[in-house]
Amino acid sequence: MSGHTDMVLVNEDGIRIDGRRIDEKRPIKIEAGVLKNADGSCYLEIGKNKVLCAVYGPRECKPRHLQDPTKAVVQVKYNMEAYSVTDRKRPGTDRRSVEISKLIAEALENVVQTELYPRASIDVYIEILQANAGTRCAGLTAASVALADAGIPMRDLVPAIACGKADGNVLLDLNKEEDNYGQADVPLAIVPSTDEIVLLQMDGNMTRAELDHGLDMAFAAAHEVYEIQRDALKRRYTEMSKKEGDSDE
């Protein structure tokens, strides 16, 4: 977020470098149940971001000192692959991935009914295969679908999307150029049934009115992402019941 470039990020007609309008999110694809050996899984694309999520559990919590006698712990490992960005990233855990893992775990703890599984662990692995800004939102959106696919009881899904500002315009769902050279980036995750906010960060600068406008766009878009999450789960259940039906014959 340098806020400075010669590149025109939004042209006079209000069109962005990837052809989107200012209030348009990138195309989203979600598929649940893509991995056989995980308890639940999800593959998600939003624009050029590609994310795979696997869920295990509830299972014995390791290391044991993390066990909570009153509820399950949600452990998240967000990892950006070395090949996920154009300039090769140093593989492995860094401060950024530790922070993102923690805030995704905290967002999920608001919806997972952890009190049902004392001492257990629910493990969520998020692999960023290709990154183009918005990966924490993409990872969280995929994680709640994978948790539902694993049959883990939850109050609701958690759709996430960012708003922000570039070239003086309030924008929905920033891409890499807008994130790098724009003036603000505001990832948001919500619980759609109550409109509670479970993740909200802001990096950069915006006026109060711009932030209000951005959040309005992001809330509306998060509800649309929610429908895409639900569709993915419906397709998964239809597929599973069809398979069960076939094996009964």
Distance CA(190)–CA(240), nearest Å, equals 28
Q: What character string, x for contact with ligand ADP (CB under 6 A) and - otherwise, covers 179-218?
A: x-----x---------------------------------
Q: Is the peptide bond before 69 cis (omega within 30 degrees of 0)?
A: no
Site membership for ligand ADP, residue 135 (CB under 6 A): yes
Task: Give me the least distance between CB of 244 and ligand ADP, in Å please.
Answer: 38
Binding flag, residue 132, ligand ADP (CB under 6 A): yes
Does residue 129 belong to the site contacting ligand ADP (CB under 6 A)?
A: no
Between 101 and 121, name the residue whose CB sits nearer to ligand ADP.
Answer: 101
Q: Are 185 and 162 in contact (CB under 8 A)?
A: yes
Give the separation between CA 40 and CA 32, rounded to whole angstroms. Answer: 8
Nearest to 162 by CA among 137, 126, 142, 181: 137
Please tell me the distance from the alpha carbon of residue 35 to that of residue 13, in angstroms, as a whole number.
43
Closer to ligand ADP at the Cβ: 218 or 233?
218
What residues have CB less than 8 Å from 196, skipping those under 6 apart? 110, 190
Question: Is 141 an interacting residue with respect to ligand ADP (CB under 6 A)?
Answer: no
Q: How far is the CB of 139 from ligand ADP (least distance, A)?
A: 8
Segment 225-229 long-range contacts (CB within 8 Å, at least 24 positions apart): 225/25, 225/28, 225/141, 225/159, 225/160, 225/161, 226/157, 226/159, 226/192, 228/28, 228/30, 229/30, 229/141, 229/144, 229/145, 229/157, 229/159
Q: Which stretch binds ligand ADP (CB under 6 A): 119-127, 131-139, 210-218, 225-233?
A: 131-139
Contact flag: residue 79 with ligand ADP (CB under 6 A): no
85 binds ligand ADP (CB under 6 A): yes
Provide the minimum distance between the beta carbon of 135 and ligand ADP in the complex, in angstroms, as a whole number.
3
**Do residues 193 and 144 touch, judged by C-beta distance below 8 A?**
no
**Which member of 136, 149, 158, 236 binds ligand ADP (CB under 6 A)?**
136
Angle, alpha carbons 96-162-229 (nearest 5°): 100
* 134: contact with ligand ADP by CB under 6 A: yes
Q: Taking contact as CB under 6 A, which single stretch among the options 8-16, 128-136, 215-223, 236-244 is the one that binds ligand ADP?
A: 128-136
At 80, phi and psi to the nearest 5?
-95, 120
CB of 203 to ligand ADP, least distance (A): 7
Based on the shown chain and the rule CB under 6 A, indicate whether residue 89 belongs to the binding site for ligand ADP: yes
For ligand ADP, the closer of residues 136 and 236 by Cβ is: 136
Query: Could you list the residues that contact ligand ADP (CB under 6 A)?
Result: 85, 87, 89, 96, 131-136, 176, 179, 185
